[in-house]
A and B are shown apart, each in its own frame.
Chain A
Amino acid sequence: MLSPTAVMYEDEVRRIQEVADQLAVDSRARTILVVDKNGQLIAAAGNAHELDTTSLSSLVAGNVAATGGIAKLIEEEEFTGQFHEGKGISVHLSIVARRIILVVLFDKNTTHGLVRLRVRKAIEQLEKIFAEMAQRPQQPQVNVFAEITDADIDNLFND
């Protein structure tokens, strides 16, 4: 079986984006990323446009996967948070609803304590959104890709 397709609709992405934007303001962090555990970026806020968010997302997911592997080996259910302290910028990672990684990059403009406090509130909001998403059918009611032709696929490679 092919793994099921994850589908995210505009309204859901918009709500997640709002949480990320609010967290960027409240925590005074530089950048907020919402990434799924497979390394796909869902939302970004703050100065994310200055960063290579695709690479960051993939590495964060790899990092969380490796840490999850360690947890499994020592029979710990999951490490729900990680903190990487740098001289200029630090990174706070949290797992949300077992499938999403909330990434906060912050500098001296704020404190780790404030970040943790604001992240807690954001996690509650995100959990609610993802719980609602889990309730709705995962497959799109209308598969817009059902009409893809072989020619469409071939055209992708004609350059």
Chain B
Amino acid sequence: MSFINYSSREINCKLVYYGPGLCGKTTNLQYIYNKTRPDAKGKMISLATETERTLFFDFLPLSLGEIRGFRTRFHLYTVPGQVFYDASRKLILKGVDGVCFVADSQMERMEANIESLENLRVNLQEQGYDLDKLPYVIQYNKRDLPNVVPVEELSEVLNPTKVPEFEAIATTGVGVFDTLKALAKQVLTELRKGG
């Protein structure tokens, strides 16, 4: 849930990057961290295993400019993608304001994408959210790899409701900020409606 503090004149919003294991959620956050001005970001925290797989979450606080005298701050989180960390994923979705689903474009990960997306929907429902009513974008990552599914096909399977979708190569940053901006915009637009 977004948090408006009239005392410090701040708006805080929580964005969650969701998706199957090794789809590039952490890589998205790392790229954002590396390309953001030092004064606009906090420390990036990764709770990861020794093999650098996300164990609980990654966290990156970003501070955008001011809107109507209120400083807008976004807290970016990733979930652990591996199937057996489902209990942790549920916890991170608590209080979410917007979701980015990162899909792995490779042919052999199609099933994992579908399973993860279904898992997202179910876990949100458990928290009382409806994915179709939340600010939500999809990113098709790893477009530089040789065996990728055409975007039209990914879109047909993973994006039936036609939310904003972006092609990306998170390792080099292609599409990373476009995805973030689109999601942040949706969240702020919801705030305008009085969310």
Q: Nearest-CB distance from A136 to chain B (Å)? A: 13
Whether A109 is near chain B, meaning CB under 8 Å from some CB there, is no
Of the stretches B20-28, B57-65, B101-109, B148-156, the one at the interface is B57-65
Whether A131 is near chain B, meaning CB under 8 Å from some CB there, is no
Whether A114 is near chain B, meaning CB under 8 Å from some CB there, is no
A4, A13, A157: which contacts B64 (Cβ < 8 A)? A157
Whether A65 is near chain B, meaning CB under 8 Å from some CB there, is yes
Whether B56 is near chain A, meaning CB under 8 Å from some CB there, is yes
Contacts of B2 in A (CB 8 A): 3, 5-6
* Complex-state Cα separation, A12 to B7, whole angstroms: 9
Whether B87 is near chain A, meaning CB under 8 Å from some CB there, is yes
A2, A38, A42: which contacts B195 (Cβ < 8 A)? A2
Interface SS, B side: mixed
Question: How many residues of B are in contact with the other chain, CB < 8 A?
Answer: 53
A6, A8, A58, A66: which contacts B88 (Cβ < 8 A)? A66
Decide: B42 and A156 in contact? CB cutoff 8 A.
no
Whether B134 is near chain A, meaning CB under 8 Å from some CB there, is yes
Contacts of A135 in B (CB 8 A): none
* Complex-state Cα separation, A39 to B15, whole angstroms: 13
Of the stretches B67-75, B110-118, B138-146, the one at the interface is B67-75
* Complex-state Cα separation, A65 to B47, whole angstroms: 14
Q: Nearest-CB distance from A62 to chain B (Å)? A: 6
* Complex-state Cα separation, A73 to B12, whole angstroms: 30
Q: Nearest-CB distance from A114 to chain B (Å)? A: 29
B7, B130, B192: which contacts A145 (Cβ < 8 A)? B192
Within 8 A of B (CB), among A122-157: 139-140, 143-148, 152-153, 155-157
Decide: A36 and B3 in contact? CB cutoff 8 A.
yes
Contacts of B97 in A (CB 8 A): 2-3
Whether A52 is near chain B, meaning CB under 8 Å from some CB there, is yes
Q: Nearest-CB distance from A37 to chain B (Å)? A: 7
Decide: A4 and B75 in contact? CB cutoff 8 A.
no
Decide: B56 and A153 in contact? CB cutoff 8 A.
no
Decide: B7 and A8 in contact? CB cutoff 8 A.
yes
A residues neighboring B (CB under 8 Å)? 1-10, 12-14, 36-40, 42, 52, 54-55, 58-59, 62, 65-66, 68-69, 73, 139-140, 143-148, 152-153, 155-157, 159
Nearest 5 A-B pairs (CB), nearest first?
Answer: A13-B7, A38-B95, A3-B1, A2-B195, A65-B91
Write 16 A-B pairs (CB below 8 A) sorted by A numbering: A2-B135, A3-B95, A3-B97, A6-B1, A8-B3, A8-B4, A38-B3, A55-B59, A58-B61, A62-B57, A62-B91, A69-B87, A143-B194, A146-B193, A148-B192, A156-B72
B residues neighboring A (CB under 8 Å)? 1-8, 11-12, 14, 37, 42-43, 45, 47, 56-57, 59, 61, 64-65, 67-68, 70, 72, 75, 87-88, 90-92, 94-97, 128-130, 133-135, 181, 184-185, 188-195
